[in-house]
Homo-oligomer: A and B are copies of this chain.
Amino acid sequence: MPPAPLITEDPSLKPPVITLTTDFGTTDTYVAQMRGVIAGITPGARVIDGTHELPAQQILAGAVALDSMVDAFSDGTIHVVVVDPGVGSGRAAVAVRTSRFTLVGPDNGVFTLTLDRTPPTAIIRLTDEAYHRVPVSPTFHGRDIFAPVAAHLARGVAIESLGEPATTLVNLNIPQPSETNDAMTAVVLLADRFGNLITNLTRDRYDAWLARAGAKSVTVSLKKQAVGRVREAFADVEPGEPVAYFGSSGRLELAVCNGSAKETFGEKVSVTLCATRT
């Protein structure tokens, strides 16, 4: 066979990246349909799955997933998140621009954690039907509104064209760590697939508290069980032992070495950090 002329795009271009994060699972073809719609509008876009295994309709899980991954993507990425218990009801559909990325999804608080760190520079309600698929299924805005809007953004449509500007978003009430000079209490937001418990304490917040507290060392405890100091990695302890460390999510995580912290401690727990100054 003679080598055929090959099919590719201009490598000097930087194809726009769109991520998709949903609770749709991959058993059905819902995600495929979103990708089909995007490919039809912006064939050159790179589509990357965040995860589609969010627990059904758990907005907090979507918020944590999005926040865990945005820093791994280049500026200009378009992140679509569809955890949407209100689909077909009156909740708004929005696109949110920040200095680093654009978010697309339902206005139900799923962007809260991410926008706490990178505030919005524009909020647009997706009211211009010219950028939607026709007809819009009342049960599948992921395919008919969010996917085409992301694809149009990826081909350069200005966010302002997509609908009406807004000034506020629904805010998810996410518990914050509480602190005194001597102690900080964090709570577990969710468990990952390995059973590691991911808390609401970010490294930035921890570092600021350490500085304020003038702490020389910190000890961690969970359900009154001592976990020891904050480690660099879960390989730092013996198999079966609990360990606290700042995970790849940028948050304090609790694990059991070669085991499951979720199974050992449950998921609804708080974590106490005590500072000592001696």
Q: Which residues of A contact B (CB under 8 A)?
A: 1-17, 19, 21, 24-37, 39-40, 42-46, 48-53, 56-57, 65, 68-69, 72-74, 77, 85-89, 130, 137-140, 143, 154-156, 192-194, 232-236, 245, 247-248, 258
Contacts and interface: CB of A to CB of B under 8 A. Distances in A.
16 contacts: A1-B1, A1-B130, A3-B4, A4-B6, A6-B43, A7-B15, A13-B44, A17-B36, A26-B51, A27-B193, A29-B50, A32-B49, A36-B72, A39-B73, A40-B74, A138-B232
Contacts of A6: 4-5, 12-14, 42-44, 155
A201 to B, nearest CB: 16
Given A4-B6, A6-B14, 14 more contacts: A6-B44, A7-B15, A7-B43, A10-B11, A11-B12, A15-B43, A17-B39, A26-B49, A27-B192, A28-B192, A32-B72, A33-B69, A33-B72, A37-B72
Contact of A48 (B16, B39, B138, B156): B39
A233 B139 contact: yes
User: What is the copy number of this chain in the assembly?
Assistant: 3
A44 B9 CA distance: 8
Q: Give the dominant DSSP class at A's interface.
A: loop
A278 B51 CA distance: 49
Given A88-B233, A234-B139, A77 B36 contact: yes
Contacts of A17: 36, 39, 43
Nearest to A39: B17
10 cross-chain pairs, A with B, having the tightest CB-CB distances, nearest first: A88-B233, A7-B44, A140-B248, A36-B72, A33-B72, A138-B233, A36-B73, A40-B74, A29-B69, A88-B235
B29 A232 contact: no
Nearest to A7: B44
Contact of A248 (B33, B39, B193): B33
A46 to B, nearest CB: 6
B51 A29 contact: yes
B15 A8 contact: yes
Contacts of A37: 72
A3 B14 CA distance: 12
Given A44-B11, A235-B88, A53 B26 contact: yes
A186 B88 CA distance: 25
Nearest to A43: B14
A68 B27 contact: no
